[in-house]
């Protein structure tokens, strides 16, 4: 029994590293590409509703707290760090049958670590995906933000709809 539990934990850790690590690396590579190819503030139209841009977000989602005076860097870095630790705990101790919940947390973790790294090292998050319609721009975002959003939607769907159908 102990041997099986140990293998399950190793498998869970390996899955977490592969999924979260892939998202983290993809996020950092795309941000690096934008920084290398675009000057700060540069915008390039890709489609009539989508631009690539190079912007810095000193705050949280939708630039919340971006002009708070600097304290938000460490606050948001701390929140990201604590959230990452909590997700690692949940991933490793979630029931085996909670596959979608575990997967969603791994996806969120990869995104959280991407933005955590930016805040810790740079003091801001690099955003570059700019969608717009009729002159209205959605706040720019990045791969990490997409992962956090997709993971959160999966987590909510699993807990509201899928888990209740299984009787969990």
* Mean pLDDT value of segment 82-87: 91
Percent of the chain's residues with pLDDT above 90: 56
* Mean pLDDT value of segment 149-167: 81
**1 band by pLDDT with thresholds 50, 70 and 90:** very low
Measured CA to CA, the distance from residue 106 to residue 151 in angstroms comes to 8
- What pLDDT does residue 167 have? 47
pLDDT at 168 over 90: no
Rg of the chain (C-alpha set): 18
Q: How many helices (H) and strands (E) does the chain have?
A: 5, 4
Q: Cite the active site residues.
A: 127, 145
**66 membership: H or E segment, kind and range:** none
* Mean pLDDT value of segment 132-141: 91
DSSP 61: G
**For residue 31, which of 131, 136, 108, 121 has the smallest C-alpha distance?**
121
**5 band by pLDDT with thresholds 50, 70 and 90:** low
**Domains of the chain by residue range:** 2-166
* Mean pLDDT value of segment 158-163: 80
* Mean pLDDT value of segment 141-148: 96
DSSP 124: S
């Amino acid at each position: 029994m102990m041997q099986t539990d140990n293998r399950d934990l190793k498998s869970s850790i390996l899955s977490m590293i592969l999924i979260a690590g892939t998202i983290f690396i993809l996020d950092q590579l795309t941000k690096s590409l934008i920084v290398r190819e675009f000057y700060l503030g540069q915008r390039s139209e890709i489609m009539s509703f989508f631009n690539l841009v190079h912007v810095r977000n000193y705050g949280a989602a939708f630039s919340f707290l971006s002009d708070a005076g600097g304290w938000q860097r460490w606050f948001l870095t701390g929140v990201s760090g604590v959230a990452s630790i909590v997700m690692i705990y949940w991933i490793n101790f979630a029931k085996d049958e909670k596959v979608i919940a575990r997967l969603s947390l791994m996806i969120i973790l990869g995104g959280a670590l991407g933005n955590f790294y930016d805040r810790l090292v740079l003091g801001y998050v690099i955003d570059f995906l700019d969608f717009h319609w009729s002159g209205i721009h959605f706040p720019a975002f990045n791969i990490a933000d997409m992962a956090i959003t997709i993971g959160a939607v999966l987590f909510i769907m699993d807990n509201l709809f899928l888990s209740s159908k299984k009787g969990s």
